[in-house]
Amino acid sequence: MDIKGIYTPSPERYDDSETLYRRCGHSGVMLPKVSLGFWHNFGAVDSYERSRAITHYAFDHGITHFDLANNYGPPYGTAEETMGRLMDDDLRPYRDELFISSKAGYDMWPGPYGNWGSRKYLMASIDQSLRRMRLDYVDLFYSHRYDPNTPLEETLQALVDIVRQGKALYIGISRWPLEALTVAEQYLREHDTPLLIYQDKLNLINRQPLEEGRLQFCHDHGIGFISFSPLAQGLLTDRYLNGVPDDSRMAKGRFLKRETLTPELTAHLQELNAQAHERNETLAEMALAWILHQQGVTSVLVGASSVAQLEQNMKCVHAQPF
Ligand SMILES: NC(=O)c1ccc[n+]([C@@H]2O[C@H](COP(=O)([O-])OP(=O)(O)OC[C@H]3O[C@@H](n4cnc5c(N)ncnc54)[C@H](OP(=O)(O)O)[C@@H]3O)[C@@H](O)[C@H]2O)c1
């Protein structure tokens, strides 16, 4: 930023394009191999200037994809408000260089219409998200989770209509089981809004999308795949190798519980850390590179509580092959 506080992105932000971007499935969209998530560290409880610095670092280094959801904060909605403020302060001139996603599927407002997968909820939620982010449209809108009680066709038609209304350019699905994902792929294709991307948790200690066939399904059907919590919320870094730091997500205790860090898991993480060092990499770099090495993966969707973390994580794009 200059002395007047005006942000000008680095003119070198696309210098590493050949290495950084990957095609998202069989679509026309290129995504950065490392994308930035706003689940934590971008809420009203967080320092705006730190969120802003992380966002600037990302965009300055070619990270064009920012991932949000209606309920990211805390409080709910405030990560999208931070995005809106960033748009006004810094990013609006670069809107066409950005690929911004949001989602609806988890509890967002009280009563029967603020959760799950009904048309009523999705239609209201996209309008709220656009208002908070001060955007005319999102690039990508997701169903955030599978709803076993709403007909899949109701959810899917609402997603199609959101695209038809110009409120989103593409549709994504997150955390749907394979059977429902199969229905979604067909429905969306037949309604001229092919499924762009599937978002699920794949990392070195949770390989379910690989083992249960969802990654293969995406690869076979030309759907991109983006891995959330690729560092297992920080476990696959040097953060917890020697206990629980006071400023860590685990110390805050809401989404990453202390009970997770068993002696067995610590021993496994230490083993992985030693393997990473043999490769001259940090554990975080190796963990991200491993995901990117899996056939069908488009991008790893990292979180970061500091610029230094993001800087380290981005090195994975230059990691040696497995
Ligand atoms: N679709 C879904 O249901 C769903 C679910 C979860 C997440 N997501 C998306 O995925 C994104 C990423 O999720 P996540 O935040 O769990 O990802 P993650 O990358 O696995 O974890 C991020 C956390 O790990 C720590 N960390 C990151 N890099 C580090 C480094 N180099 N060294 C040490 N510690 C490091 C930081 O925690 P500290 O705070 O401890 O520093 C950071 O906040 C979210 O923002 C969201 O967009 C989607």
Residue 1: pLDDT over 90: no
Q: 226 CB under 6 A from ligand 1?
A: no
String of DSSP letters for 226-287: EEESTTGGGTTSSTTTTS--TTSHHHH-SSS-GGG--HHHHHHHHHHHHHHHHTTS-HHHHH
List all residues 6 or more positions away from 264 whose beta carbon is below 8 Å from its beta carbon. Answer: none
Please say whether the beta carbons of 315 and 292 come within 8 A. Answer: no
Q: How many CB atoms lie within 10 A of CB 287?
A: 27
Helical H segments across 46-191, by residue range: 48-60, 78-86, 119-133, 152-164, 178-190
pLDDT band at 13 (very low <50, low <70, confident <90, very high): very high
Residue 139: pLDDT over 90: yes
> Residue 22's beta-bridge partner residues?
31
Q: 236 CB under 6 A from ligand 1?
A: no
Mutate which of 50, 208, 305 for ligand 1 pocket (most atoms within 8 A of beta carbon) = 305
Residue 4: pLDDT over 90: no
Please say whether the beta carbons of 70 and 76 come within 8 A. Answer: yes
The chain-wide mean pLDDT, for the chain, equals 97
Nearest one of 21, 128, 120, 22 to 68, comparing CA atoms? 128
Q: 228 CB under 6 A from ligand 1?
A: yes
As for how many domains the chain has, the answer is: 1
Give the CA distances from residue 238 to residues 58, 217, 249, 273, 277, in Å, rounded to whole numbers and listed in that order: 21, 33, 13, 8, 11
pLDDT band at 183 (very low <50, low <70, confident <90, very high): very high
pLDDT band at 3 (very low <50, low <70, confident <90, very high): confident
Mean per-residue pLDDT for 195-214?
Answer: 98
Pairing status of strand 299-302 against strand 21-23: unpaired
Mean per-residue pLDDT for 254-275?
Answer: 96
Give the CA distances from residue 151 to residues 14, 23, 176, 217, in Å, rounded to whole numbers and listed in that order: 43, 31, 13, 22
Q: 233 CB under 6 A from ligand 1?
A: yes
Question: Which pLDDT score, from 0 to 100, does residue 198 have?
Answer: 99
Residue 20: pLDDT over 90: yes
Q: Of ligand 1's atoms, which has the minimum distance to the CA of residue 308? A: 31
**pTM reported for the whole predicted model:** 0.98
Give residue 203 CA to ligand 1 midpoint distance, Å: 12
CATH number, domain containing residue 298? 3.20.20.100
Q: 309 CB under 6 A from ligand 1?
A: yes
Q: Each residue of 164-182: pLDDT tens digit? A: 999 999 999 999 999 999 9
Mean per-residue pLDDT for 120-146?
Answer: 99
pLDDT band at 130 (very low <50, low <70, confident <90, very high): very high
Residue 270 is part of which domain span? 20-318
Mutate which of 231, 258, 299 for ligand 1 pocket (most atoms within 8 A of beta carbon) = 231
Tokens coding 313: 């994580």
Angstrom distance (rounded) from CA 95 to CA 102: 15
Question: Which pLDDT score, from 0 to 100, does residue 307 have?
Answer: 98
Residue 5 maps to a domain: no
Residue 15 maps to a domain: no
Question: Which pLDDT score, from 0 to 100, does residue 119 have?
Answer: 99
Q: How many CB atoms lie within 10 A of CB 81?
A: 18
**Better-predicted residue by pLDDT, 2 or 15:** 15
Mean per-residue pLDDT for 240-253?
Answer: 95
Residue 83 maps to a domain: yes
Residue 319: pLDDT over 90: yes
Angstrom distance (rounded) from CA 13 to CA 63: 8
Residue 11 maps to a domain: no
Please say whether the beta carbons of 38 and 304 come within 8 A. Answer: no
Residue 7 maps to a domain: no
Q: Is the dihedral of CA 130, 125, 117, 176 positive or negative?
A: positive
Question: Which pLDDT score, from 0 to 100, does residue 204 have?
Answer: 98
Residue 8 maps to a domain: no
Angstrom distance (rounded) from CA 190 to CA 298: 24
Residue 258 maps to a domain: yes
Question: Which pLDDT score, from 0 to 100, does residue 193 have?
Answer: 98
Residue 253: pLDDT over 90: no
pLDDT band at 62 (very low <50, low <70, confident <90, very high): very high
Residue 181 maps to a domain: yes
Q: 172 CB under 6 A from ligand 1?
A: no
Angstrom distance (rounded) from CA 78 to CA 133: 9
* DSSP designation for 125: H
Residue 5: pLDDT over 90: no
How far does CA 23 lie from the centroid of its chain?
16
Mean per-residue pLDDT for 289-307?
Answer: 98
Q: Each residue of 66-113: pLDDT tens digit? A: 999 999 999 999 999 999 999 999 999 999 999 999 999 999 999 999
Please say whether the beta carbons of 27 and 170 come within 8 A. Answer: yes
pLDDT band at 318 (very low <50, low <70, confident <90, very high): very high
Give residue 40 CA to ligand 1 midpoint distance, Å: 7
Q: 303 CB under 6 A from ligand 1?
A: yes
- DSSP 3-state helix, strand, coil percentages of the chain (rounded to 5)? 45, 15, 40
Angstrom distance (rounded) from CA 114 to CA 122: 9
* DSSP designation for 42: S
